Structure 1
Amino acid sequence: MNEVRRVLRPNGFQRIVVPDLEQLCRDYILHIQLSEQSSHEQYRHDEYVAAIIEQSVRKAAFSTKYKKPLRRFIEQLVLGDARRRGETHQWMYDRINLRVLLERTGFRNITVLAYNTSNIPNWERYGLDVDTDGRQYKPGSLYIEAQK
């Protein structure tokens, strides 16, 4: 964060998009309640645990998940595992702890936004955070901006 702040222009914005730990935890708690009512849902419960834990411990890169074993092996050898590719998170953030981190680093005007809104001028022009159809690229993400 210090380096981002250092290189950012005065009054420039930093936009951060990370998995939203708060939403993942809410989904997990709701699924516990569903699982208590439906034995079928109990068999899906690990998906909700994985949605939280896998963010930090995944070894295989997500893009190799459905590839043939030989191709997966070669990609892993050349490009590295998920951690080396930057796919895993060393920490999980929600709107509270990310705000505190940004404040401690000296950022101001910290705002939680939707995927399709921004304080960055002409944001829609860049086509970030949306897929080719204009839908949210990574549902379940936290979108936060802060100004230098």
Structure 2
Amino acid sequence: MNYLNLGCGRRFHLAWTNVNFTSSGEGVIAHNLTTGIPFPDNSFDVVYHSHLLEHFPQNIAELFLKECYRVLRPQGILRVVVPDLEQIALTYLEALKNANDGSQEWAANYEWILLEMYDQTLRNHSGGEMAAYLFQEHIPNQDFIVKRLGIEAKNLIEAGRKRREQHQPNSTPENKPLNLLKQVYRFVRHPNYRRESMLKSLLGEDYSALQVGRFRQSGEVHQWMYDRYSLATLLKKCGLENIIQHSASESYIPQWTSFNLDTEPDGSVYKPDSLFMEGIKPAT
């Protein structure tokens, strides 16, 4: 069988054809997926993408899924994984009720679930308020967050710990000459730094708007969210049949868990906050 993993990031299997916006590992093909999928019709038995679709505007998402359909062979399987809007909404309502009833534990959970709902859509800098929350020295509801986000939350919490340990203030008077020399060196040796310095000087206060605009178009933010109804409706619109919601370990794909894309080797779920849905391309 021929397998295709789109927008794979660093989560890929060497038995698959792996495509990402930038090459993220050996054999990963770099390609801008907003311009289509760079393979002929009927090329793959399986097409998979995880936490990619929500980064496209609605109109681009539909075109992208039609591209997935195009490169699938008849009877091929499309597996789509996205953040589960329904799960987020239900957790929000539970947190709202319990926090309103006076639970301090759920008050912290309420604060977090609001970040899940809004931050990934509204943020203007990488990581947003979710990363800031996870970089705190004391996280009051760490177990709750790890249960929702899995290994990614653990990695961010660990990154925050390391950053705190390695942080060295460099604004003391004795460091200022060294910092100035570093800036001069970067200006002379690095064209991008030189360009940005000139833009900042020319644009003044408008430079921050340029930075926000660049970030908003970088692909990190969520452009739309899906629940089981909206995603199934979209897959059906794109021509797929036998559409079904699975768990992380369930799939039409033979020996699915052996690839460790949605699950870890120990059987735990890689992204527990996800909606897992599949459809099949008709035979004719």
Distance in 1 of aligned mates of 2:68 and 2:245: 18
Query: Is the Cα–Cα contact under 8 Å of residues 28 and 48 in structure 1 kept in the other structure?
Result: yes
Change (3 A) 1:124 1:2: same
Distance in 2 of aligned mates of 1:106 and 1:139: 28
Report how far residue 39 of structure 1 moved.
Answer: 5.3
Distance in 2 of aligned mates of 1:15 and 1:6: 14
* TM-score (norm: length of structure 1): 0.81
| 1:20 corresponds to | 84
Q: Of 121, 134, 158, which residue of structure 2 is paired with 1:56? A: 121
| 2:72 corresponds to | 8
The one-letter amino acid paired with 1:103 is K
Structure 2, gaps ≥5 residues long: 1-64, 132-154, 165-191, 193-213
Query: Is the Cα–Cα contact under 8 Å of residues 227 and 275 in structure 2 kept in the other structure?
Result: yes
Distance in 2 of aligned mates of 1:83 and 1:21: 22
| 1:72 corresponds to | none
What is the percent sequence identity of the aligned residues? 36
Change (3 A) 1:27 1:44: closer
Q: Of 240, 260, 263, which residue of structure 2 is paired with 1:130? A: 263
Partner secondary structure for residue 277 of structure 2:
strand
Report how far residue 96 of structure 1 moved.
Answer: 0.2
The one-letter amino acid paired with 1:111 is I
| 2:239 corresponds to | 106
* TM-score (norm: length of structure 2): 0.44
Partner secondary structure for residue 236 of structure 2:
helix
Partner secondary structure for residue 258 of structure 2:
helix
Report how far residue 9 of structure 1 moved.
Answer: 1.1
Structure 1, gaps ≥5 residues long: 70-76
Distance in 2 of aligned mates of 1:54 and 1:26: 17
Distance in 1 of aligned mates of 2:108 and 2:277: 34
- Aligned CA-pair RMSD: 2.8
